[in-house]
Amino acid sequence: MRRDQLLRQVTGLLALCAALALLLLLGMLLAESRPLLGHEAPLGLWRAVWAPSQGVYGLGGLLLGSVLTVGLGLLVAALPGIWLGAWLAELAPTAAGVLVRLAVDALATVPGVVLGFAGLWLLAPLIRTHLGGPGLSLLAGALVLAVAMLPTVVTLTEAALRAQPRAWRDGALALGATRRLALATVLLPAARPRLRGVLALALGRGVGETMALVMVTGNAVALPHSPLDSVRTLTGNLVLEMAYATGVHRSALFVSGLLLLLVTGLCLLVAGAWREEGAA
Amino acid sequence: MSGGWEHLLLNTLALAGLALALALPLALGTAVYLHLFARTRVLRRLLRLGLQLLAAVPSVLIGLLGFWLLVVRLGLGWSLLSGGLTLGIMLLPGLAATTEAALAEVPAGQREASLALGADVAQTLRHVDLPAALPGMLAGVVLAVARAVGETAVVLLTVGTAWGPQGLGGERLLEPGRTLAVELYLLATEGGSAAATWRCALLLVGVGVVATVLTRLLGSRRSA
């Protein structure tokens, strides 16, 4: 039994190291944020102007850029994603279901940088010629993000529907409903809290997406007046400026990282609460 | 482009290898601890919550951590080593989750039979749990490698974009370099030859497709 004791201690230590990574991240963000938080009045952080060369570090515009892009992207991805997930869970013929799932899983492995390249090569020129503006825009970012979030929405929607008691569907079918009708009137309405949770999780993922957005949003710091204008997101700003930032500018980037962590953490918590409500 | 093609692949593979070297032992230890030893509910929930949170952290923040801790504080500079270790942190929560799920799927009867025959927990783990969970764990590893290969933000922050050194010496690990994904980013945004850009993109998509098919053959689905 001494060997079991040893195994327990070694694996416990490894688990502790894993947990440490999270604490390290939080500690870094807090410690490196201090210089700016001392230098700025808290309200100043929410200004929309990000101009490091003039010592102005307002995160409002970047946050707005992230929120608008991800929100619009989710708006585009939500309906097709939920529809496809529901189709996979209830209506798909076996062979077609297998193929579509394979395609969705493969789409989920496509790296952000490849999605960004596709947006740059296909989407931006289309937007520029048919809708106007510079092409590299909020709209391009949202559409690329919609593709990035689609697999998450599809897979989790299917899982959410499958997690519901079989008796609900069987009952509806026994009452004479078609599968389609049972889906529309019983299964989807009953899954509403879970589906909200699915969308919140997708939102959290979208906010963290970096490369695809850096490549297609144009990254202008000015506030967008229309979806055809360029935007800069929190993640994009970090990856563009971190390598050369110093002093207060560098600290401001860590503050934006803290904000990013808060936003994604919030999405995860909200998603968890909604999914538990759905399971109850 | 000429002559450098192989070293993009080599850098990419080196990063994925380093990342696995860090993440696999940690993930395996965490999963085994959760599966066998974390007996109180609170401890289990806390550890799981931590892993979930870490999995939800945007990769660019993991990159920031690597930049701050490894590149700057520990003085490793922009290097393959910094990048590999940072990617390891990124892969850790996903690997731990797939490993734990694979362990949880081993029928309890098999474990109990082994324990009843007088084997201790460590022997049971080595001869019963781990062999039975191997396909599921491998599927997790395959997906992790695909993620490491496609990751760009972390690599930009920790390995840089330098058209890296040739050759294969161990000292290369402390030098900056460029991976396939970063090459695609630079080609696409700074305008490179169309052929090279497409070759990069197709290779990266190909890795993902192969990984998806492999996971399916190993009998498990990506856990989203």
Q: CB-CB: which of B51, B65, B96 is closest to A28?
A: B65
Contact A18 B36 (CB under 8 A): no
Check whether A109 has a pLDDT greater than 90. Answer: yes
- Mind listing the pLDDT tens digit for each residue in A146-155? 999 999 999 9
How confident is the model at residue A67, as a pLDDT? 95
How confident is the model at residue A180, as a pLDDT? 92
Q: What is the helix (H) or strand (E) element at residue B50, kind and residue range?
A: helix B41-56
Task: Give the other-Cβ count within 10 Å of B205's Cβ.
Answer: 18
How confident is the model at residue A19, as a pLDDT? 85
Q: Which residues of B touch A217 (CB under 8 A)?
A: none
Contact B56 A28 (CB under 8 A): no
Over range B166-193, report the average pLDDT: 82
Closest alpha carbon within chain B to A20:
B50
Q: Which residues of B touch A13 (CB under 8 A)?
A: 29
How confident is the model at residue A58, as a pLDDT? 87
Question: Which residue of A210, A219, A255, A262 to mutate against B (max B Cβ within 10 Å)?
Answer: A210
* Cα–Cα separations (whole angstroms), residue A67 to A48, A203, B112: 13, 9, 51
Rounded to the nearest angstrom, the minimum Cα separation between A172 and chain B is 29
More confident site: A47 or A232: A232
Over range B51-58, report the average pLDDT: 92
How confident is the model at residue B1, as a pLDDT? 43
Taking the C-alpha atoms of residue A172 and residue A122, their distance in angstroms, rounded to an integer, is 45
Rounded to the nearest angstrom, the minimum Cα separation between A139 and chain B is 18
* Cα–Cα separations (whole angstroms), residue B212 to A89, A94, A97, A117, B96: 20, 19, 15, 21, 19
Check whether A40 has a pLDDT greater than 80. Answer: no
The ipTM of this complex is: 0.92
Over range A209-221, report the average pLDDT: 92
Contact A114 B150 (CB under 8 A): yes
Contact B208 A110 (CB under 8 A): yes
Contact B36 A17 (CB under 8 A): no
Enumerate residues 6+ apart whose C-beta is below 8 A from A218.
A134, A136, A137, A230, A231, A232
Closest alpha carbon within chain B to A241:
B157
Phi, psi of A32, deg, nearest 5? -80, -15
Taking the C-alpha atoms of residue B80 and residue B182, their distance in angstroms, rounded to an integer, is 13
* Cα–Cα separations (whole angstroms), residue B1 to A215, A248, B13, B150: 22, 39, 19, 20
How confident is the model at residue A78, as a pLDDT? 96
Contact B26 A14 (CB under 8 A): yes
Confidence of residue B160 (pLDDT cuts 50, 70, 90): confident
Over range B11-31, report the average pLDDT: 95
Contact B33 A15 (CB under 8 A): yes
How confident is the model at residue B224, as a pLDDT? 37
- Mind listing the pLDDT tens digit for each residue in A73-82? 999 999 999 9
Over range B95-107, report the average pLDDT: 93
- Mind listing the pLDDT tens digit for each residue in B62-94? 999 999 999 999 999 899 999 999 999 999 999
Q: Which residues of A touch B34 (CB under 8 A)?
A: 15
Closest alpha carbon within chain B to A122:
B188
Taking the C-alpha atoms of residue A81 and residue B140, their distance in angstroms, rounded to an integer, is 24
CA angle A137, A143, A90 (to 5 degrees): 170
The residues in A 165-204 lying below 8 A from B, measured between CB atoms, are 204
Confidence of residue B2 (pLDDT cuts 50, 70, 90): very low
What residue has token string 């070293």?
B7
Contact A204 B56 (CB under 8 A): yes
Residues forming a β-bridge with A51: A56
How confident is the model at residue B89, as a pLDDT? 96
* Cα–Cα separations (whole angstroms), residue B135 to A90, B30, B219, B222: 29, 18, 7, 13
Closest alpha carbon within chain B to A121:
B188
Over range B142-154, report the average pLDDT: 95
Closest alpha carbon within chain B to A198:
B224
Of B25, B5, B33, the C-alpha closest to B125 is B33
A15 contacts chain B (CB < 8 A): yes
Over range B201-220, report the average pLDDT: 91
Note the pTM of the prediction, 2 decimals. 0.92
- Mind listing the pLDDT tens digit for each residue in A236-258? 999 999 888 888 889 999 999 99
CA dihedral A9, A11, A15, A20 (to 10 degrees): 60
- What percent of chain B shows pLDDT beyond 90? 68
Rounded to the nearest angstrom, the minimum Cα separation between B54 and chain A is 6
More confident site: B192 or B205: B205
Confidence of residue B192 (pLDDT cuts 50, 70, 90): confident
Q: Which residues of B touch A101 (CB under 8 A)?
A: 221
B195 contacts chain A (CB < 8 A): no
How confident is the model at residue A243, as a pLDDT? 82
Contact A14 B189 (CB under 8 A): no
* Residue B74: DSSP 8-state: S
Phi, psi of A218, deg, nearest 5? 85, -25
What residue has token string 């204008």?
A229
How confident is the model at residue A275, as a pLDDT? 79
Confidence of residue B164 (pLDDT cuts 50, 70, 90): low
Contact A260 B58 (CB under 8 A): yes
More confident site: A93 or A275: A93
Over range A130-147, report the average pLDDT: 93
Confidence of residue B168 (pLDDT cuts 50, 70, 90): low
